[in-house]
A and B are shown apart, each in its own frame.
Chain A
Amino acid sequence: MPIVVDHGKETDGHATATSPTHLKALLRGRNLKGLALVPAIVIVGIVGSVTSPAFATPYNIFDNILAFSAALGVLVIAESILLIGGLIDLSLQSTVGFSVIVFCYLMGGGTSGGPGLGLPIEFAIPITLGVVVFIGLFNGFVVSVLKLNSFIVTLAMLILLQGLTLGLSNGQTYTNIPDFILFLGTGRVLGIPVQAVIFIAVFSVAGLFMSYWPTGRAIYAMGGSHAAAQAAGIKTGRLAIGLFVFGSLMAMFAGVLLLSQVASAPSTLGRNMIFTVFAAAVLGGIDLNGGRGTILGAALGVLLLAIIQNILILSSVPSFWIDAVYGAIIVAALTAGRLRTLRDVLIRRQHISS
C-alpha cells in the first residue's frame, strides 16, 4: 500500500513540475514541426485568389484540388510510412499501373480495348489482390531477409513491372471499367466528391495510426534506430515485410482512384508519379533517413503541390512549363527549410555559450 501512495506522489510531482514546460514543448515541438508548410500554403493561397477569381471557390477546392490529389495522396501516405520505417519503395509507381492492368486483363478481351482472359469479376478481384500482395511480399523478402539494398531492388522492380504492364496490355488502353469503380470518380457524398472524402479520410486514419497505435510507433522506432527497435522486442523483419505489402496495396488503391478519374486504363497509368510522391513527402518533412516526419506534414506537402499546380492551370501557364516551376519551387522550399534549421542550430549554440 505505501508503494501505491509513493507512485501517486511521483506522478503528481512530475505533472506540477513540468506542465508549463510541457505546454511550451507542445507549442514548439514536433506537433508544430508538422505544420511548417502552413505559411507557404497560405501565401500560395493568397497568390491564387489574387490571380484567379475561380481559385477560392468550394468547387475548385473540393473538386479540383482535393479530389484530384486523392491518388497522389494515397501513394504519398504509403511512401511516407515506408520512409519513416527506414525503407524505400520506388516500385510503387509501377504497381499503380500494373495492378489496374492485371485487373483489366483478367476481365478483358472482346470489346475491352485490349487483350484479356474474360474472367468474371469475382475471380479478377482476388487474383489481382494476390498478385499485388505477392509483389509486396517479394520486395519485403528480398530487402529484409536477403538484406539487399531497397533502393536498388525496388528500382529493378519498378522497371520490371512497367515492362510487364506494357507487355500484358500490348500497349493498349482498356475501357472495360466496372461501374462501382466509376462511381469513385464521379460520385458525391453530401455534395462532396468521393475522392475528396477519401483524401481527407485516408490522411486522418494514417495520421492517427502512426501517432497513436503501437504498430505506428514501432515503425517510427524502427526507422529512428533499427537496433533499438529490435532490442525493445519489435520484430523488425516481419514489420518491414508488412510495410512493403501495405505499400503495394496502397499503390493498387491509388491505381483504382486514377482509373475512376480517367474512366479508362492506359498502360502508362501512374507513370512518373514517384517523383511527385517524393517531392510531396520531402516537402512535408519526411526524413529520407527514417524515423522523422509526420503524416500531417506529408498531407500538407501534397496540398501545396496540388494548389501550385491548380494555380498554374487556372492562370493558363503552358503545361510544358509546369514541371520546371514545380522543380524550382521544391528546390526553393528545401533550401529555405534547411536555412531555417541552420538558424535554429546557431541560435541554440549562442544560447549554450552565453
Chain B
Amino acid sequence: MNAPNFPAVRVNGVSKAFGRNRALDKVSLTIEKGSSLALLGRNGAGKSTLISIITGIHPPDAGTVEFGSRGRSAGVECVFQRSTLVPALTAAENIMLNNYPKRGGMVDWKRLSRRGRDILADWDCANIVDAPVETLAPVERKIIEICRALSRNPSVLLLDEPTAGLDFAGGQRLFKWIREARDRGVSLLYVSHHLEEIFEVCDQTTVLRDGRVVLDRALDGMSIRDLVEAMVGDARRAEQVSAPPAFAPRSLPVLTVESLTVDTRVSEIDLKVRQGECVGLAGLEGAGHMQVVQALCGLVPVASGSVVVDGRKLRRFDVAEGMKCGIGFIPEDRHEGGYVPEMSVAENATLPIMRRLRRSFGPVRQSLREREYARLGGEWSIKAASPRQPAGELSGGNQQKVVLARAMSTDPKAILLMNPTAGVDIAAKQSIYQTIKARAEVGKAVLIASSDDDDFSICHRVIVMVRGKIHKELVAPFSGHELAMAIQGE
C-alpha cells in the first residue's frame, strides 16, 4: 500500500568490536515490508550483538541502520523470551500499559476495553480482553505481548524464541497467527534455535557465523540440513570436536536410569553411565534434557522411574537422598541455587559436608573446613583472596568452580552437571574441562546436560533429546555438524 520501495529495516555494513573481540564484521541485511526474516547463528555467532545494535542499545563502530521511511524513532519493538506482562492485570490493560486512554485525567475503562477488543480481534482473541493475564494460556500471553509491541506501531517486530514455554499445539496456533499478521503487512525479525519453526513463519533467512553473514537468501527450496551447514561451517565440520579422556569401555555402570518420566515433558528415558565415562545430554530448549538431570538431582519431585547409583537404588527423588546414594551435582544456573553470596568460598564449597567437619556434636572446625577447602579448591584451581572471602565477590568463572567444588565435596560416584561452563571466560572453561576429565579418569561417572555444544567435546557419547524423548546417540568421534543436525531432530 504505502511506498513499497522502502524496506522496513536496512542494515548496511555494520561492524562492532568489544575490545579485541570482533563481534560483527560488515553485516548487512534487509527486511522488506510484510516479510519475515529468520536471523540464525550458533551461540556466539554475533546474533545478540546485531540485535542490540538494531534495537539501539549499542552504537555500531561502522555502518548504518535505517528504518523504513520514518527514521530511527519508529524503529523496532521486541518480544523477548522472558515475559514482561503484569500477571494480575487484564489483557487490555497489559496491551496499553502506561498508555491508557483517558477522560478528564482518569482512565477511560470503556474505551480501554473496546480498543483492546479491536486489537485482539485481529488475533481471534477478543474474548480474553478482560481476563487477568495470569489466568490465560501461555500462547495467549505471547499474543498479548505481541499486540502491545505492535500497538506502538514499529517498522519491524522482533520475536526472540517465541515458542519457548509453549506446547506443540500452542506453537502451531502462534505460527498461524504470525502468518496472518505478516499478510496484514507486519514485518518480522525472527530469532530461534528451532530451525523447523523457521520454515513455518519465515520467507527469508540471514545466517551469521563468527560475526559475518554466510548466507542471505529466500528460504524457498532450502532444508534444515542446508541451514545447519551454513551455521556450523566447513571448518567446524572437519574439526575433530571430541577429545574425551581415556576410558575402558567394559567398565561397570555407575549410574543406571530406567524409564524416567518427568510430568509431561520427559517420558521413558533409559540411560547408563559407566565408570570413567563422560556422557552428554543435548537438545534444544524445552527438549527435556535439562529436566532429566534436574530430576536425577532431586530438584523436580514429580519424577518417576528407577535410578541406581553404584548398586544403590534411590528411594525417592530428593536432593539429600541422591547425595547419600553418591550423586553430586551443580544446578542449571549458579546464581539460582549455586552458592550463598554472603558466605565464604570455603563454607560454600563444604556446605553439604559441614556435619563431618567436627567432633560428634561440636562446632564446625575452621581448620578442618579450610583443609577440606584447600583440597577442593586446589582440585578446581579456585582463585580467591582467602578461603574466607565471600563467594559473591568472585568472578563468574571462580564462582562456578566453587559450585563445582561443592558438588565434589561429598566425594560422589556420579557427577551430574548442568551448563557447567555457562557465563565463564575461555581460560576458566578450559580449566573446568581439565578437572572434569581428571575426575572421570579416577573412575567417576559424568553426565553433562548443556546448551553449549563445546561442553560435549569432553564426552564419549552424547544422547540427543527431542520433545522429551531420546532421539539419537552419537559416539565420539562425532562432528559438530552431526551434533547440530541431531539436535534439530534430523
What residues make up the interface of A, taking CB atoms closer than 8 Å to B?
6-7, 10-11, 14, 18, 21-22, 25, 29-30, 208, 212-214, 217-218, 220-221, 224-225, 227-235, 291-292
Contact = CB atoms under 8 A, between A and B. Distances in A.
A218 B354 CA distance: 9
Contact of B351 (A7, A11, A232): A232
Contact of A233 (B352, B370, B378, B385): B352
19 contacts: A7-B378, A10-B374, A11-B374, A14-B374, A18-B387, A29-B388, A214-B354, A217-B347, A220-B340, A221-B340, A221-B351, A225-B337, A228-B339, A228-B340, A228-B351, A231-B338, A232-B319, A232-B406, A234-B351
Interface string B349-380: 00110110010000110000011001101100
Contacts of B422: none
6 A-B pairs closest in CB distance: A227-B337, A212-B363, A224-B340, A232-B351, A18-B386, A10-B378
A221 B406 CA distance: 13
Interface of B: 297, 299, 319-320, 323, 329, 331, 336-343, 347-348, 351-352, 354-355, 358, 363-364, 370-371, 374-375, 377-378, 385-389, 406, 410
B388 A224 contact: no
B315 to A, nearest CB: 15
A228 B340 CA distance: 6
A50 to B, nearest CB: 39
Contact of B386 (A7, A22, A228, A291): A22
Contacts of A22: 386, 388
A235 B319 CA distance: 9
A225 B334 CA distance: 11
A228 B337 contact: yes
Contacts of A235: 320
Given A10-B375, A18-B387, A292-B342, 13 more contacts: A14-B370, A14-B374, A22-B388, A25-B388, A208-B363, A217-B347, A220-B342, A224-B341, A225-B339, A227-B336, A228-B340, A233-B319, A234-B351
A262 to B, nearest CB: 37
Contacts, number: 91
A198 B340 CA distance: 33
Counting chain B CB atoms within 10 Å of each CB, which of A14, A25, A30 scores highest?
A14
A214 B299 contact: no
Contacts of B339: 225, 228
A351 to B, nearest CB: 13
A112 B85 CA distance: 61
Given A21-B385, A230-B337, A291 B374 contact: no
Contacts of B343: 220-221, 224
A212 B364 contact: yes
Contacts of A7: 371, 374-375, 378
Contacts of B388: 22, 25, 29
Contacts of A292: 342
A232 B352 contact: yes
Given A18-B385, A217-B347, A227 B342 contact: no
A228 B374 contact: no
A233 B326 CA distance: 12
Contacts of B352: 232-233
Given A217-B364, A292-B342, A231 B331 contact: yes
Contacts of A11: 370-371, 374
Contacts of A231: 297, 299, 319, 329, 331, 337-338
B340 A229 contact: yes
B254 to A, nearest CB: 19
A14 B377 CA distance: 10
A234 B371 CA distance: 22
A80 to B, nearest CB: 15
A232 B339 CA distance: 9
Nearest to A235: B320
A353 B337 CA distance: 31
A213 B339 CA distance: 19
A30 B329 CA distance: 30
A212 B369 CA distance: 11
A234 B410 CA distance: 13
A11 B388 CA distance: 14
B349 to A, nearest CB: 10
Contacts of A14: 370, 374, 377, 387
Contacts of A228: 337-340, 348, 351
Counting chain B CB atoms within 10 Å of each CB, which of A212, A225, A229, A231 scores highest?
A231
Contacts of B378: 6-7, 10
A217 to B, nearest CB: 6
B386 A227 contact: no
A227 B331 contact: yes
Contacts of B347: 217
B343 to A, nearest CB: 6
B435 to A, nearest CB: 14
Contacts of A29: 388
Contacts of B355: 214
A214 B386 contact: no
Contacts of B358: 214
A291 B319 contact: no
A224 B351 CA distance: 13
Nearest to B330: A231
B342 A224 contact: yes
A233 B342 CA distance: 18
B384 to A, nearest CB: 8
